[in-house]
Structure formats: structure tokens, C-alpha cells
Structure 1
Amino acid sequence: MEMNLQTLFQDFNPSKFVVHSCLLIFTALLALKLDNSITWSYWAVFTPIWVWKFLVVLGATVGTYVWWQYPHFRLEGEAYIHYKAMLISLAIHLILLMFELLVCDQLTTGRHVWILVFIPLIFISIVSIAICIWSVKHDRSYELELFCAVNILQFIFLALKLDEFISWSWEVVFVPLWILMCLSLVGVLYSIIFAGILLRTPEVNVQQRRTSFNSALAYTFTVIPILVFQVLLTNRLDDGLPLSYTVVVSPLFVSYATLIIMSFSSKGGNKWWFGIRKDFCQFLLSVFPLLQEYANIAYNNNANRGANVVPSEPPEPYRDEETHKKVKESKKSQKNQKKNEFMKPVVPITSIDMPD
């Protein structure tokens, strides 16, 4: 089993890591607040959400400053598409922030109707349909937009139920979510069957088998806990099941943990957040040059080898010019040394004096 810092952060997606970490903390705080285990105000409970939105606004602001301050950066590859995607994401998050502010104020004061509170979220759901089409056309990620687009009916039902305009049970109110979870379960079942087929196919290489198995495992530990949470929440709201909200949301922690782990292999991400313009691993090594030394070390857990630390050469994108020059000269020197050793005679030559 071999691990190194470079491999760990090479496919790391910092955006997903921040979002899922903030949602995990927020879910835990909200459950504790509903159980009266903490006496914080809802404005304090929503702190992880405020941190998330602050990072989004700050990242877009810095990215916009770099965009206008350095015009030659706009010529780098698909810079216009990345920048436009960042602005679209910023607009979605600002509207989502408006919804979150209204929710927090409604929970604190109760001076609004829930239909008014949900208007920004419903608007996001409608706009997200067009954004998903644009994202597919330009090969961009659209997880948040897709989630909002497929749940527009669920948001309307929630608003009507909270305002008591409909007297349906929560089991009926969650019908759109039940349908979505059934489709997700079909996807999980398909991924498990596909992974099983690849494991029994000798023509498939080990890397493809490992990838399919990890994907099936990740989907399973993401979807199943959400389904368990939905069942517990429905029984808690309809039948008054004697469970605390902390117990009800506990399956979500498994899903959040899985999503956080998956963020280390998600790749992608917009390179214009905070004006980075490069992969996170390259940016991390350029900001902290000392990490290059640790990025070139692989830790091997093989007991048959004498050393636990095995140095390895980084690929070209992670090697600066000076390091590349030194490695090149070292290889040339080793090659010349081997050549000289090969040309040395094996049997020493001695002079033989012939008798007269």
C-alpha cells in the first residue's frame, strides 16, 4: 500500500470539501438546536452556512479582480467559460443566501409566511434547468443546480405544508423525494451489478476494477443513509416516533463523510475561484515550496522492504525548472559514470618480458 502527498491532493476538489464539511456541521448544530441540547440562536446555528457563502463571495471577488487586472490571463484555454461558470455559480449562491436569511429570520421571529420564504428557492429551481443545459453543453459540473431543478415540486409542497394550506401527511408531502430516492436506488443497484461484472471479467485491468468497485461503494454509502434518514424523519413527523432529531439525522453523517472522502478524488472544479487558474495541487505546491519535498516522498507499507520511505520523482507539471535541471544533470552524470565503468578493463594488463 503506497501513499504520497502528491497523489492525495492531485485530484482534490476543495469546493466540494468545503460545502460538504459545512453542511455536516450545520446539520449537527440544527439537530442539537431542535432537541434543545443547545440554546444558541438560529443565527449562530447557521454559522457554517454563512462561512460557506462568505468563501463563495470572497473567491468570486478575488477571481474577478484577477480577471480584470491581468487581461492576458483571459487567453488561457477555456478561461471565458470558467469565468462565466463562476459568475453563474455566484448568482445562484447569492439567491440561495437570500433564502437562507429568510429561513433564519422566519425561525427566529415567525413574521413571514413560508411560501414567501421559499420563493427564492423556487426561482433557483426554475433557472437551474437552463443552467444544467448550458453546463452539459460546455462540459461543466452542475450538482447543486441539478438538485434544485429536480426538487422544485418538493419545495412547493414543503411551503404549502408548513403554512398549513394542505393537510396531507408528511409521507405524502415527501412523494417527489420518494420518487427521486427510488431512481437513486436503481442507480446504486446498477453500479453494484456493473462492479460485480467487472470483477469477474479477466480482460479488465485492475485499475478499472478498483474504480468501479469504489464508485459502487461510494454511491451505496451516500444514497442508503439518505433513504434511512427520510424514513426516520417521516415517522418522527407523522407518528411522533420517540427519537431525538440527533438520532434522526445521524444517517446523514455517513453520507456527508462519504462525500467528503470522495472530494479527494473528484477532480474538476473551477480554476478561477480566488484567481488560482491552476489545479489545487499545483497551486498548493507553488504557494508552499517546502511541500515539494514531502510531495516527492512515497510511504510504502510493505514489510519486505527495508525502508519505509521511498523517494519518487514527481511528474513534470509538479517539478519546477531548477529541480528539473538538477535531475537532468544527475541522470547525465550517472549515465557517464556507468559508461566509464563499462570501458574499464576487467583483467589487468601486465608486461611479459621475452627471454633473449
Structure 2
Amino acid sequence: MCMEMNLQTLFQDFNPSKFVVHTCLLVFTALLALKFDETISWSFWAVFTPIWIWKFLVVLGATVGTYVWWQYPHFRLEGEAYIHYKAMLISLAIHLILLMFELLVCDQLTTSNHFWILVFIPLIFISIVSIAICIWCVKHDRSYELELFCAVNILQFIFLALRLDKIITWEWEVVFVPLWILMCLSLVGEWVLYSIVFAGILLRAPEANIQQRRNSFNSALAYTFTVIPILVFQVLLTNKLDDPDHSKTSYLVVVSPLFVTYATLIIMSFSSKGGNKWWFGIRKDFCQFLLSVFPLLQEYANIAYNNNNVNRGSTGLGEAQEPYRDEETDKKGKEGKKSNKNQKKNEAMKPVVPMTSIDMPD
């Protein structure tokens, strides 16, 4: 089996936005669980630090992208620059409203001076606006994962706010009914089962190549490790909230299935492709930008390492390079190239003799 490692292949489909978001959410979830378990005594403002870092990077990236947009007008003519820039501004607006919600949540957890229904107003507003944004994204072939998540969970947000304010006194398993329906029908029915069945069909289809089978199997595996842990988390959280006095399960154990989901999403960010090219005004794919900023990486991205002595070529930027050669092989190769060059040179120096035709007598 040949094991290859190619730096460019690793980063050419990398989506830095998803990587940053899922990493920040992973750290924030762990800190919040430790705070509720009273394992750490940090304030909620400190616990929300990964969220503040996420929003800071969004604002900084949009600011730099806007500066490049107005400072260099000729960049606006590059391909779909206008659509990318407009999508960046829409994403910035969504994140700013989401930041308002997070500030209110942090203040409410610290002081308890507000009604939860007022705290959730920015999130409910995002859910309503996200419906129109999803339509625009479909029309212009843009990704809309955050907007879709907010749009389909508007009823869940309302139930959460009413339950936290004790306007309704339902059990938490009833409060989470919209999320149960969404997870069971939309996620499990359309993502996991569909991907597993499709992967099984491709594995048995003789006309499918190895790459197609591998991609379908990886997709089925990724969706499974994304959805199933979320369902387990919902069950553990419901049991914890409905019986807080007798439940000995810590919040860190409750959120532990989410760590599997976040880890899967972080790994998937290396093959997600897409992404807006106007964040920070880079105007190109992240891999190309990274190689342009650090030219030394081009040397490593140009080499494919494997455990065989036979070089199978490189998918990098330049010519293929063999991982190892001994001195004798190099010497023979140079002598062979030199003899071939001399032979071609001698053939080129030969005089050209016109072709003559001798007719045979009758």
C-alpha cells in the first residue's frame, strides 16, 4: 500500500472559516460545561472568550476586505467579486446581530436583570431574516449553513425563551420537540440514511471507480459521526434538565458527545472547499494565498512522499521529484542523458542528401 502525504492536497480544499467557527465552539462548549459544573470559577465574560475571538475575526476580516474593495477598484472586476463581497456583508450583518444576542445572554447569566424573551429577540429576528438570505444564497450558489440553522429553529428559540421565563412549565423533553423533529426527519432521514444507502450502492456498483466509492464512504461516515452524537447529547441534556436533583451526570459528560461532532466538523473543514474569497481581501483560495505568503511551502507542497521506491509523480506546483536516489543511480542517469544528447547533436550535424530515384530499364 502506498501512503502519500502532499501538503497542497491537504490545503487545496481547506475552508478556514468553518475551521475557526467549529474550533471556537468546541472550546466554548467545554468551558461552559466546566462553568456549570463549578469546576472553574471564571466569570461568564471569560467563558465566552472563544465566542468573542470568533466575532472579532469576522469583524476584522470584513473590515480588511472592505478596505481592499474600496482602495483597489480594479479588483471588483475579478470574476464574481461583487457576489462574494455582498455575501461577506450579509454574513457580517448576521454575525453582528448574533453578537448582540450573545452579549445579552452573557449579561443575563451574570445579572439576571432581563427577561429571556427579550434576550432571544435578536436570535428570532435572525431566524426570520435568514429565510430571505437562504433564498438569495440558493439563487447565487452560496453556502448558507448558519442561516439555514437559524431559519429552521425559530420555533425552538421561542419555546426556549418561554420555558426559561417560566411562562410555560412543560417538561424539557416537550420543549425540545421541534429539535427532535428536525433531527429525526431532516438530519437522520435525509443525511445519514441517504448517505449510507448511497455509499452501499456505490460499493456494489461495478461501474463506480475507487475515488467515488471512497468519497461516498467518507461522507456517510462523516454524517454519522456528526448527527448521532447530537442526538445522544439531546437525550443526556433532557434527562439532566428534567431531573436536576437526582441526576449525577455532570454537564461535561452531557456535552461530551458534541466533542465528537465538533471534531468531525473540524476534519471535514479540510475538504469543504468553498469559502468567501473576500474575507481579509485575499481574493483567492486559501491554499494559493498561503503559498504566496510563505513561498518556502511551495517546495514541500511540490513533493509527494510515499513508502515505495517508485515515484508516482507529484500533484504539486512544479515537476515531480523522487524522494530518494543513490549516487550510482544518479551517475548512470546523467551518463544516459549525456549520451542521448550527443547522439541527437551528431544526427543534427549530418549533411542532408537529396533523395534520388533510379529508374530501372525496361
TM band (smaller chain): 0.7 to 0.9
Q: Percent of aligned positions with the same letter in both sequences? A: 84
Q: How far did residue 26 of structure 1 move?
A: 0.0
The correspondence for 1:10, drawn from 12, 20, 31, is 12
Distance (Å, rounded) in 2 between the aligned partners of 1:239 and 1:337: 85
Deviations 1:250-308 (A, max 9, x none): 000000000000000000000000000000000000001111111112121x3x4289x
Deviations 1:129-159 (A, max 9, x none): 0000000000000000000000000000000
Superposition deviation, residue 185 in structure 1: 1.0
Residue 133 of structure 2 aligns with which residue?
A: 131
Q: Which amino acid in 2 is paired with 1:265? A: S
Residue aligning to 1:168: 170
- 1:204 counterpart residue number: 208
What is the match of residue 70 of structure 1?
72
User: How many Å separate the matches in 1 of 2:174 and 2:343?
Assistant: 83
Shift of 1:21: 0.1
Q: 1:336–1:78: structure 2 CA closer, same or farther, 3 Å change rule?
A: farther
1:62-112 per-position Cα deviation (integer Å, ceiling 9, x unaligned): 000000000000000000000000000000000000000000000000000
1:23 aligns with one of 22, 25, 34:
25
In structure 2, the CA distance between the partners of 1:242 and 1:64, relative to structure 1 (3 Å rule), is: same
Tell me, in whole angstroms, the C-alpha distance in 2 between the residues paired with 1:335 and 1:272: 48
Aligned twin of 1:268? 274
Q: 1:255 aligns with which of 244, 249, 261?
A: 261
Aligned pair partner of 2:223 in 219, 226, 229: 219
Structure 1 residues not aligned, in runs of 5+ = 317-333, 346-356
User: Does the 8 A contact of 1:296 with 1:311 survive in 2?
Assistant: no
1:342: how far off? 6.1
Conservation of the 8 A alpha-carbon contact between 2:130 and 2:148: yes
Shift of 1:242: 1.5
Give SS of 1:2's match: coil
SS of corresponding position for 2:304: strand
Q: In 2, Cα distance between the equivalents of 1:142 and 1:16?
A: 12
What is the Cα deviation at residue 338 of structure 1? 3.9
Query: Aligned-pair distance for 1:314?
Result: 2.3
Q: Which amino acid aligns with 2:211?
A: Q
One-letter amino acid of the counterpart of residue 279, structure 2: W
Tell me the residue number matched to 2:304.
298
Partner of 1:74, secondary structure, is: helix
Q: Does 1:280 align with 2:283?
A: no
Code of the aligned partner of 1:121 = L
Q: Does 1:39 align with 2:41?
A: yes
Structure 1 pair 335–118 and aligned structure 2 pair: CA distance change class (3 A): farther
Quote the residue 1:96 is aligned against: 98
Aligned to 1:144: 146
Kept in 2, the 8 Å contact 1:22–1:49? The answer is: yes
Alpha-carbon spacing, 1:113–1:8, altered in 2? closer, same or farther (3 Å): same
Provide the residue aligned with 2:242 in structure 1. Answer: 238
Q: Give, in whole Å, the separation in 2 of the partners of 1:287 and 1:337.
A: 42
Count of residue pairs the alignment pairs up: 324
Looking at structure 2, the residues matched to 170 and 128 of structure 1 have their Cα atoms a distance apart, in angstroms, of 26
User: In the alignment, is the contact (CA less than 8 A) between 1:13 and 1:266 conserved in 2?
Assistant: yes
